């Protein structure tokens, strides 16, 4: 999980808003409630800030110059799957909200937004992303190990935290191993296809999608639970929870 909270527990926020007055007002409010805030006017400035240091949550306007906020959100979700994204926009139609969530928003707020509601949205996202495994590990490492999925590449099996084991094919094992090595980052279909020793063709990319879909169903049916194997829209796949590989 991305965790850019500073050593004193401060939440790090990046505001992306081209209206200078609004940007300053939002920044001032979030700083007053104890958050560390950086600001950007556009997607290019946001990229520069993220290259300098990660963040916990991006507060993203959609009507930005040069690059629309939905495009930026989709790129962020591909590159930083654990990052929180709050879209703040005047676009309030149902279809526009659906598009916002489809392209990566965790929460979609329509202007004018009460700043206390924005603060609550940010804190809600971070509560949802709290890494319970890390907390358990600090208290009892052995207990934390038992709450994780485990991939045995030699036996070609995946064991759920509850103890049920799923037998995997060579291909399923290779895909999960590839995703484990990425440690939560998105792995493109091209990379997965290459890992399987196949050419990067559209048909092979679709084959990967079919294998992943069957794998999800297999795991759910045989363990009565789901490993969080998620798709990054239009790009590839990532693991949103830890799988220990051995």
Query: What are the structural domains, with CATH classification, of the chain?
Result: 12-128 (3.40.50.2300), 132-245 (1.10.10.10)
Nearest to 27 by CA among 18, 19, 37: 37
Give the pLDDT confidence score for residue 226 in this predicted structure.
67
pLDDT above 90 for 232: no
Percentage of residues of the chain with pLDDT beyond 90: 35
Question: How high is the mean pLDDT of the chain?
Answer: 83
Give the pLDDT confidence score for residue 147 in this predicted structure.
56
pLDDT band, residue 73 (cuts 50/70/90): very high
Give the pLDDT confidence score for residue 201 in this predicted structure.
85
Say what the pTM is.
Answer: 0.53
Q: How far is Cα 39 from Cα 26, in angstroms, rounded to an integer?
A: 10
Give the pLDDT confidence score for residue 17 in this predicted structure.
94
Residue 231 vs residue 87, higher pLDDT:
87
């Amino acid at each position: 999980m991305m965790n850019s909270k500073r050593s004193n527990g401060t939440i790090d926020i990046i505001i992306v808003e081209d209206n200078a007055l609004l940007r300053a007002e939002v920044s001032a409010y979030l700083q007053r409630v104890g958050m560390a805030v950086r600001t950007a006017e556009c997607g290019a400035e946001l990229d520069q800030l993220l290259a300098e240091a990660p963040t916990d949550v991006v507060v993203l306007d959609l009507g930005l110059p040069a690059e629309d906020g939905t495009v930026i959100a989709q790129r962020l979700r591909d590159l930083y799957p654990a990052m929180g994204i709050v879209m703040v926009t005047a676009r309030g139609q149902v279809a526009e909200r659906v598009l916002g969530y489809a392209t990566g928003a965790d929460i979609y707020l329509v202007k004018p937004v009460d700043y206390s509601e924005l603060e609550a949205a940010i804190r809600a996202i971070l509560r949802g992303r709290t890494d319970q495994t890390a907390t358990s590990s600090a208290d009892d490492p052995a207990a934390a190990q038992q709450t994780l999925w485990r991939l045995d590449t030699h036996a070609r099996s995946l064991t759920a935290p509850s103890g049920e084991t799923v037998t995997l094919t060579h291909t399923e094992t290779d895909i999960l191993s590839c995703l484990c090595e990425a440690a939560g980052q998105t792995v493109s279909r091209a990379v997965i296809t290459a890992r399987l020793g196949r050419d990067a063709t559209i048909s092979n990319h679709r084959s990967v999608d079919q294998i992943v879909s069957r794998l999800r169903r297999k795991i759910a049916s045989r363990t009565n639970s789901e490993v969080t194997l998620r798709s990054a829209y239009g790009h590839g796949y990532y693991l949103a929870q830890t799988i220990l590989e051995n």
